[in-house]
Amino acid sequence: MSHTVQFTDVCEFMARHLADVFDTMLAMKAVQVPNAELPQFGERVSGAAGFGGETVTGAVYLHLSETFAKQVAAAMLGLSPEEITGESEVNDVVGEAANMLTGGLKSWLCDAGTECALSTPAIIRGTSFAIEPMPHVQREWLVFDCGGNRFVVEVHLKFN
C-alpha cells in the first residue's frame, strides 16, 4: 500500500499533540520554538516509545533536563517538586508522557490508513548519550518552551 502521510504532517501533528498532552495532564503551556537550537542538557531524562507495522516504523523520544523532568512529574502527580524524592516516579511519568505522545501519533497514523502497533515505553538517563537512527529513517527534533524550560521531542519515521 502506498502511503499518503508526509513526514512534515507527522511533525505538525506532534507539535499540536505535545501541547495538548501538557495542557491536559500537567496544566502547563508548552509552545514549539521553530528553528531553535537544541538545548544542552546536563543530566537528561528521555522517554521513548516505538511503533511499527507493515508500512511504517518509528519512535518518539521526549528529552527533558532532570530538573524539568521533576517538575513535570510533580505536575502530573499533583505534588510539589520537593515531594518527588525518587528517580522511579520521574521515570514513570516521563515514560507515560512518551506513551501518550506516541500513542496519539500511532492513532493518527492508523486513521490515515497506516496501520501500526505501539510498544511499551522505555527510559534513558544520562549526561552524555546520542541516539542514532537506522539508515533511511527520517528524523526531526522539535524544540519546545514551557515556562522558560526548553525541551525536545525527537521523531523517527520510516515508511517501508
Binding region for other proteins (CB under 8 A): 20-21, 24-25, 73, 76-78, 88-89, 92-93, 95-96, 99-100, 102-104, 106-111, 115, 118-120
The rounded distance, in Å, linking the Cα atoms of 43 and 139 is 23
Q: Are the C-beta atoms of 101 and 18 separated by less than 8 Å?
A: yes
- Comparing CB distances to other proteins, the nearer of 13 and 36 is 13
Distance CA 6, CA 114 (A): 11
Kindly tell me which of 105 and 152 has the beta carbon lying closer to other proteins: 105
CB of 112 vs other proteins, minimal distance in Å:
9
Question: Looking at residue 61, what DSSP letter applies?
Answer: E
For other proteins, the closer CB: 18 or 152: 18
Report, in Å, the least distance between residue 109 CB and other proteins: 8
Nearer to other proteins, 107 or 138 (CB): 107
In angstroms, give the least distance from the CB of 135 to other proteins.
28
Phi, psi of 149 (to 5 degrees): -95, 120
Contact 22, 146 (CB under 8 A): yes
Q: C-alpha grid cell for residue 138?
A: 527520517
d(CA 15, CA 31): 8
From the CB of 40, what's the least distance to other proteins, in Å?
Answer: 28
